[in-house]
Amino acid sequence: MNQCIVIMGSPGSGKSTLAMKVAQKTGLPLYHMDALFWEGNKNISEEVLIERLQSVVDREAWIIDGNYKNTLEMRVAKADVVIWLKAPRWKCIMRVIYRYFKDKLQKGPGNNPNILEFKFLKYIWNFPQNSFPEMERIYEKYQNECRWIVV
């Protein structure tokens, strides 16, 4: 089955958890943007990220979860299905705090460093006004090119 699925949404919205469940059900290969972007506690350059991501989106089937809005359109343009998780900000923040403490005990599904900082919580709180406009633009451009599921 050739199918390409993008799962996007705020940090803490449940992207990685949903992606893992979809991958288990479908058998599609799963790629986390965090795993492509982070090496230990450091991130790679945008050029290297685009190279890595290009090698994934050129494949026949995949699931990619994550935002990284500079590369979002690159993924959506090749997707058959886009799932946009729009969880409330307070719920995203609570999930990130929960994940932080849970991951201290066991490794969770994400691949970004397990750091909880005020600036990250602020980023999540401001995510709708800072990132949704670009996501909406991409939605408007590709709404008839692939199936969109907004929850």
**pLDDT digit string (tens) for the chain, length 151 residues:** 569 999 999 999 999 999 999 999 999 999 999 888 887 778 878 888 899 999 999 999 999 999 888 899 999 999 999 999 999 999 999 999 998 888 777 765 544 556 688 999 999 999 999 999 999 999 999 999 999 999 9
How many independent structural domains does the chain possess? 1
The CATH code of the domain that includes 112 is 3.40.50.300
The 8-class DSSP code of residue 12 comes to T
* Cβ-proximal residues to 51 (8 Å cutoff; 6+ apart), any chain: none
Tell me the pLDDT tens digit for each residue of 67-99: 888 899 999 999 999 999 999 999 999 999 998
What's the confidence (pLDDT) of residue 41? Answer: 74
d(CA 75, CA 118): 30
User: Which has the closest alpha carbon to 79: 134, 137, 3?
Assistant: 3
Which domain does 55 fall in, by range? 4-150
